[in-house]
Structures are given as C-alpha cells and as structure tokens.
Amino acid sequence: MFRALSELRDSINRMIDEQGEDAPCASFVFTKKDVFYYGGYDDDGLPNLDVEQYLNDEDTEEVLNEVGNNDYIYEQIGEFIDDEVRRIRNRVTVD
C-alpha cells in the first residue's frame, strides 16, 4: 500500500482508536531514505561505491508506489501469517 506519511499517521491513529494503543502489530515502512543506490564520485572525481545516491522525488514515488502495489509482498505476508497461526494452533492442541 502506498501512502504519504501523513496518511499513514492518520490510519495508525484510527487503528489505535479502534484497537487500543497497546494492540500488537507488525509493520514494514519504507520511505524515500530507503530508495537509493551506491555510486557517485569522490572529491577527486574517482568512482566511489560507498556514496549513497538518492533518486529524485518523482522517481522515488514511482518506486515506492510499485512496492506498495505489489501483490506478491502481501501474498507472502498472508501466507506467513497463515503458517504461524497453524503453528500456534498445533502447539496449543499438542500441549
């Protein structure tokens, strides 16, 4: 899901109102600070692979939009949650 940080804050506040501020959750948030590559040049004009280069805002938004709209990520998380629920349920019935 792609959102601005302010929209995420509003959504989180609604969830807190509905579920309580101590409700457990898992979260993955990627921001413009996560959209970079290594490259660039040092002061002498030599290639330097230790320098973080950030994309412009428009390209960054495109990258994060693609990440947020990728069904594969949500399917994998859903499968993982299902597996963990099964594991917990099996543990409870075995104990």
Q: What is the average pLDDT across 36-46?
A: 86
The model's pTM is: 0.75
Q: What is the average pLDDT across 24-34?
A: 95
Task: Dig out the tokens for 27 from the structure.
Answer: 């979260």
Q: What is the average pLDDT across 16-31?
A: 96
Q: Are the CB atoms for 36 and 60 separated by under 8 Å?
A: no
Domain count within the chain: 1
Chain segment 42-89, per-residue pLDDT in tens: 788 888 888 889 999 999 999 999 999 999 999 999 999 999 999 999
pLDDT over threshold 80, residue 94: no
Using alpha carbons, select from 11, 56, 10, 9 the residue that is nearest to residue 32: 56
The Cα–Cα gap between 38 and 52 comes to 5
Residue with tokens 């501020």: 21
Q: What is the average pLDDT across 16-45?
A: 93
Cα angle 9, 10, 15 (rounded to 5 degrees) comes to 95
The residue range of the domain holding 83 is 5-94
Query: What pLDDT, on the 0 to 100 scale, is given for residue 89?
Result: 93
Query: What pLDDT, on the 0 to 100 scale, is given for residue 95?
Result: 55
